[in-house]
Structure 1
Amino acid sequence: MEMRQLQALLAVADTGSVTRASELLHVVQPAVTRQIHNLETELGAILFDRSRAGMRPTDIGMQVIERARRALSELDRAREEARSSGAGLYGIVTVGLLASTAALLAVPVVSAVMERHPGVRLRVVTGYGGHLSRWLEAGDLDVALTYNQPPAAALDVKPLLEEDLWAVAPPSAGHVAAEGVDFRELLQRPLVMPSAPHGIRTLVDGAAARVGLQLDIAVETNDAGVQKQLVRGGLGWTVLPGIMVAQEAAGGVLNAAPIVNPVIPRRIVLAKPTSVRSTSAVRMVAGILEEAVLGLIDAGRWPSARLVQ
C-alpha cells in the first residue's frame, strides 16, 4: 500500500469523481484510476460504487478511507515535528471547538497562534460535545474545548469554567426578567429542543426529573441556529448557553435570561487524548485556548461563566 494510492483514494472520496480528483492531485486521470484499481486489488475489495453520478464509497470503502485519512494526517504531523528539531516551533494541531463557543474563540485563538508561532498550522473543527469526545478518543483531535466530560482513562481533562444555561423566548413573549427565568415556568412553555442524547437535552431532562416535571416538546432539532429561528418565529421557547444568545437578547431579537430555581450549569473542560504524546505545538495551542477562555471571562464576554477553582 503506497502513499500515492492513499492520496488518490482520499481525493476521489472527497471530490466524488476521478476527473476532479486528478485535477486536485495535478495528475492525469488514468493515473488516479490505476491507483484505485491497484488498491482494490491489493485489498481484495471494491472501495467505490461507480455510476454516472460519480464515485460513491462502499461500506468497506468508508472504513478504509477513514483509516487512510488518519494515516496521512499522522505522516503530515511527523513531517512537521521533524522540522521542529531546528529553531522555532512547528507542527500541525487539530483543535476541536464546541459549536456554541467557536464564534467567540476561533479568531483570538487562530490569531494568537499565527502571530506567536507562524510555523504551527491549525486545523479547527467544530462539533457538539459528544462528537468532540469521540474524535478525541479516536485520536482525530489533538486538543478540544468540550463540556460535561466525565473522567476517562482515554482523555486528559482540565476543568476551566462553569456556565449556566439560559431560557430563550420569542420577542412576542415580552420582557424576560434579567434576574432569570424560573425553571418551572419554563417547563410550562412549548419547547424547541435538541433530541436526546444531545448534551443540553440531557441536562434539561435531568433537571426536570429532579423537580418531578416533564418537558412539553413542540419540535426537536439538533441545529442551534434552527432552534433560534423557530423561537423567533414564536413556535416555542428553547434552552441554550448564554454565550449563544446574549448578543441577540441585547439587541431585542430574542428574549433570554439564565434559568434559575434551579440553575442548570454545564462545565467547560480542556481535553487531550492520552493515547498520543502531546507535542510542544499541541501544548502551546492548549495554553492559548485556556488563555483565550480566561480573557473572554475577564472581559465579561462569556455570560454566566465562572472559573472552576
Structure 2
Amino acid sequence: MKIEAFLTLQATLDRGSFAAAAEAVNLTPSAVSLQIKQLEAYFGQSLFDRSGRTVRPTRFALLVIDTVSRTFSDLEKLRTQRDPSLSGRVRLGVTGSIQTTLLPRAVAELQKRAPGLTLQLERANTPEMLSSLKADRLDAAILVRPPGGGSARLHWKDLLCEPLVLVVPANLESLEPEQYLRRYSWLRLDRKLVVGRMAARYVDNLIPHCEALIDVPSADAIIAMVGIGLGVSVLPRLRKEHLGAYPVREVSLGPAAPTRQLSMVRRKQDSENALLRIIEQAFELACR
C-alpha cells in the first residue's frame, strides 16, 4: 500500500469530505474515493460510514490514522531537518517582480540551510516557465499561478496571495481609483504577464476602452515611472524596498481588487525532492 493513500486518509479526516480532501492532496474526488476503497480492501474493514448524507469516519479509521500519524511525524522531521551536507544544482525559474524583493531573502536563508546548493536562475514569464518545466529545462519555478489554477500535472505550493493596488505619485490628492485613472495616464503592465492581464481586465471593467500611455514589461520600471509623475498603474502590492526607493503610494482597489497568487511549482515526480523542499521553505520564510 502506497503512503499517498494514508496521506489522503489523513486529509479526508482533517477536511471532513472527499471533495475537500481532493483539493488538499491535488487529486480529483473520484481518485480520493478510489484510494480510500483501496485502503478498505487492504485492511478488510470500512473506514467511513456512507449511510448518511455525509461520510463519517469509523473508529477503525481513527485507529489507523493515529497509528500512522506518529510515523508521518517522524518522517517529516527527517525530511525537513537542516543538513549542511545537502548540495547540488537547481535550475530555478523566477518572475521579474521577485528578483529585488523575495529572491534576496530566500537566497540568504538558503545559504544557512544548504550552503552546498547552487541556484541557476532563469528569468521568464509564467507561460515560458511552465513550458520549460514540462520540457525538463527547469527543475522548479516561482511564478504567478494562473487564475484557472494551473496544470494539474504539476505540483503546486502556494506561497503568497496578495491584492493588486493602484500605484500613484505620493504627492497626488486623495481620489477614488476610477478618478485617478480618468485624470492621469495609465501605465499598463505588459499583458503577456499573468498579472498584466489581471490588471488590464480590472481597468477595462472599470473604464471600458481606457487607453494606456505605454505597455511596460517590468513592474519595477513602472514604479520608477510613477515616481517621476508619468502616470498611475495597477500592480501587485508594493514592498518596502519600492516605497523606500520611489515617491509613490498605494491606493486600495477595495473588495473588487483582483489578487495574484505567488506559487512554487515543480513536476509531480519531484514533489518530495529534498533540495526543492528546502528552496520552498526558504521562499515561505521570505514571504512572511
Does the alignment reach a TM-score above 0.5? yes
Counterparts of 1:160 and 1:216 in 2: how far apart (Å)?
A: 33
1:136 aligns with 2:133: yes
Q: How does 1:88-103 map to 2 (within 5 A)?
A: 88-103=85-100
Letter of the 1:269 counterpart:
S
Q: How does 1:1-309 map to 2 (within 5 A)?
A: 88-149=85-146, 150-172=149-171, 174-176=172-174, 182-188=176-182, 189-211=184-206, 213-244=208-239, 246-249=240-243, 253-260=247-254, 262-274=256-268, 279-293=273-287, 296=288
Letter of the 1:262 counterpart:
A
Over 3 Å counting, the alpha-carbon distance change for 1:167 and 1:139 in structure 2 is same
Task: Give the secondary structure class of the aligned counterpart of 1:202.
Answer: helix
Task: Give the secondary structure class of the aligned counterpart of 1:100.
Answer: helix
Counterparts of 1:154 and 1:202 in 2: how far apart (Å)?
A: 24
Letter of the 1:129 counterpart:
T
Task: Give the secondary structure class of the aligned counterpart of 2:138.
Answer: coil
Counterparts of 2:227 and 2:116 in 1: how far apart (Å)?
A: 44
Counterparts of 1:193 and 1:212 in 2: how far apart (Å)?
A: 14
Gaps of 5+ in 2: 1-83
Task: String of CA shifts for 1:114-167, please: whole Å, max 9, x gaps.
Answer: 222223222233333333333323322222221133231342112233101121
Task: Give the secondary structure class of the aligned counterpart of 1:131.
Answer: helix
Q: Matched residue pairs, number? A: 202
Q: TM-score, normalised by structure 2?
A: 0.60
Task: Give the secondary structure class of the aligned counterpart of 2:178.
Answer: helix
Counterparts of 1:248 and 1:289 in 2: how far apart (Å)?
A: 19
Partners of 1:182 and 1:260 within 8 A in 2? no
Say what the alpha-carbon RMSD is for the aligned residues: 2.8
Task: String of CA shifts for 1:65-118, please: whole Å, max 9, x gaps.
Answer: xxxxxxxxxxxxxxxxxxxxxx93222112233221222222332222222222
Task: Give the secondary structure class of the aligned counterpart of 2:167.
Answer: strand
Partners of 1:156 and 1:274 within 8 A in 2? yes
Give, in angstroms, the shift of residue 278 of structure 1: 5.4
Over 3 Å counting, the alpha-carbon distance change for 1:112 and 1:141 in structure 2 is same
Task: Give the secondary structure class of the aligned counterpart of 1:187.
Answer: helix
Task: Give the secondary structure class of the aligned counterpart of 1:243.
Answer: coil
Counterparts of 2:255 and 2:177 in 1: how far apart (Å)?
A: 6
Counterparts of 1:281 and 1:290 in 2: how far apart (Å)?
A: 14
Partners of 2:92 and 2:139 within 8 A in 1? yes
Give, in angstroms, the shift of residue 202 of structure 1: 0.9
Letter of the 1:274 counterpart:
K
Over 3 Å counting, the alpha-carbon distance change for 1:270 and 1:248 in structure 2 is closer
Task: Give the secondary structure class of the aligned counterpart of 2:90.
Answer: strand
Letter of the 1:242 counterpart:
R
Task: Give the secondary structure class of the aligned counterpart of 2:256.
Answer: coil
Over 3 Å counting, the alpha-carbon distance change for 1:97 and 1:207 in structure 2 is same
Partners of 1:154 and 1:275 within 8 A in 2? no
Give, in angstroms, the shift of residue 271 of structure 1: 0.9
What percent identity do the matched residue pairs reach? Answer: 19
Over 3 Å counting, the alpha-carbon distance change for 1:281 and 1:248 in structure 2 is closer
Gaps of 5+ in 1: 1-86, 297-309
Q: TM-score, normalised by structure 1?
A: 0.56
Partners of 2:96 and 2:218 within 8 A in 1? no
Over 3 Å counting, the alpha-carbon distance change for 1:261 and 1:106 in structure 2 is closer
